[in-house]
Amino acid sequence: MNQEQERKVLKDQNGSKVRYRVLWTLKDEYLNGIALLITEHLPKYQAYVKNLKKNNFTVIGYARKSPGQEQQEVRVGLVQKMVNKLYDTLLVNRVFVTTLSRANDTITSRDTNGKNAQLTLLNQVHGNTQDLSEYICTSKNNCLVAIDFAGLSTNTSDLYDFIVYVFLYEKSNHFSLKMIF
C-alpha cells in the first residue's frame, strides 16, 4: 500500500477548487488471504462460543450507546439492533445495555441513577450496567462480549479497574469473569 502524499484540494480545468480523498486499496496479492480470514472468522468465533457454552459458561453481551440527538424511537431502534446482533450473531445468553453513556465514561459510574426509560422499550435485555456488575459478581464462569472495543470502554485503565472491581466485589468469593471478547 504505497501511495505518494497528494494535495487534497486541486483546481480543475476551469480553475475551480476540487476536493478529493485518497483511496487506499489492498494489493491484489493480499486480497484472497484477507477475504478468507474475514469469511472464516465468524464461524470460528461461533464454534468457540458454542464450546464455551458446553463447558457451562454464560456468555454475556454488553451494548452501549453514546448520547446523541436522535429521537427516542430511532435511538431505541439502534440499540435494539445491537442487542439482536449480540444474540443472533455473537450467540450470547444475556444482554445488558446502557443507552446513554460515552465510551470514556467509567464503567462503574454508568447507570447509577437507576433504570432508564429507554431500557424498558428494548426486547431481551436483562438490565443496565449496574445490573451487569451485580450479575457477574454473583454468578460463575462468565464470558463478556461487546460488539467492539468502544462498546465496552475506550479507557484501558478503566477496563482494568472494572475487572478488579468485579474480582474484589464484596459478594464475590470467586472470580466469575473468565474472559472478555
Q: Which three cell numbers stand for residue 70?
A: 436522535
**What's the CA angle centered on 142, arms 97 and 37, to 5 degrees?**
85
> What pLDDT was estimated at residue 169?
59
pLDDT confidence of residue 139 = 86
Burial of 107 (0-12, 13-18, 19+ CB in 10 A): buried
Helix 129-138 with 156-168: angle, nearest 10 deg: 50
- Are 95 and 123 in contact by the 8 Å Cβ rule? The answer is no
CATH of the domain spanning 56-180: 3.40.50
Nearest to 62 by CA among 79, 47, 49, 75: 79
| CA angle (36, 152, 155) in 5-degree steps | 110
Q: How long, in residues, is the chain?
A: 181
Whether pTM > 0.75 for this model: the answer is yes
- The domain ranges of the chain are 26-55, 56-180
pLDDT averaged over consecutive 10-residue blocks of the chain (181 residues)? 58 79 83 88 94 94 92 93 95 94 90 85 94 87 83 86 70 60 64
CB atoms within 10 A of CB 181: 16
Other Cβ atoms within 10 Å of 175 Cβ, number: 14
DSSP 148: S
- Separation CA 142–CA 49 (nearest Å): 11
